[in-house]
Structure 1
Amino acid sequence: MKFCSECAHPLTVAIPEGDNRPRYVCTHCGTIHYQNPKLVIGSIPVWQREGEFKILLCKRAIEPRYGYWTLPAGFMENEETTEQAAVRETEEEAGANVRLGKLFTLLNVAHVHQVHLFYLAELLDLDFAAGIESLDVRLFAEDEIPWDDLAFPTIRTTLELFFADRARIREGGGDYGFHGGDVTRPMRSADGPAPEQPD
């Protein structure tokens, strides 16, 4: 930030009295501008009919990671719940109708000041289409997932955990769990190594 949103005066970076970290401070009107992590909310849309079991993925039409595959997700808006955000983002990015299930992953991405949450979701029909932020939307079986072309470490981690839980369930091991973790390294470059997993 360069200017105060309250009075338009130039800002100073300082540690306010009683605080312990630098903040953007307006010395003119006294406003302290706190910045907090953003929530990225999405879903894992599953199509399961007559022996088929597939996941809906979107190919990104925007940066970062243009042209890479992702689960439908985006930033949570004010005045909505995390569940509402997951449904809205799925509709906006994939044009998909889903019935939301329980929260599946919560992944802290501290180096970019974000927390990513993904909900289990049942795809209700095949009437989906790419939204303005997607180049393509497609169903993938587990052996078809484009692992080398996934957009972010949190997407890869969520999918790996999902299929690991599914394998356990198929062997009679209960239901999908809840998974938390930290992503401590940035996403890979286009020609770099595979994304790091949460520690």
Structure 2
Amino acid sequence: MKNEIVSLSLGTDSIIAIIGIVVTVLIAVIGGIYKIVTSTKKYELTENYRKELLQWYTSVVEIMIRIIHSMESQEFFSDEFQSQKTEMLSRLSALTEIGRFYFPNVIKGDYFGHDKPSAYQGYRDICLEFLVYFYNTALKSVDDSNVSVLWKQERNFTALMFDVIEPRKRNRDYSKHLGLTIPKGQAIEDFIYENPKNINVFRN
């Protein structure tokens, strides 16, 4: 009888130990799954935001460059082009308004513009400031003398969007989460160094 009690006791201890191990393993597994799910969800949300922002940027920059090139070719100032000119400027203005949802006004706590509707209170974000300046410059232009100014505005706008979307980090994320092989960065010097005959690609 005494041996049976000892045996039962040892059996109970073993069961408790096994349960403890199982619980520990389950916690670890659940924690690992949660970490993976959370990481995946974070990646999806980040990528969705980048895609949405990139779509907006694409629409904006296409209009900007179309305006610049039409100005360079002088058609921007012709009577026959006025309807297209109005359409492009209207589109840019609308996209600037949409941009307020990505780049809301900067609130500095000085109540600047507090009497205006909420979307217009505070100071316009520099990203949208470039678009407004571009719009006003194009609207008032009577010749192509402002082309260089418009190019500067477009480049500054693109640079800001580049820093927000972070294409290099985006490529690394693609490589990590999707198992894609991202081409290594290569400048023209690297391209020619790799094979001197590559210089012929850039010759007539």
Same fold, TM-score > 0.5, yes or no: no
Greater helix share, structure number: 2
Greater strand share, structure number: 1
- TM-score, reference length from structure 1: 0.23
Higher-Rg member (1/2):
2
User: Greater RCO between the two (CA within 8 Å, min separation 6)?
Assistant: 1
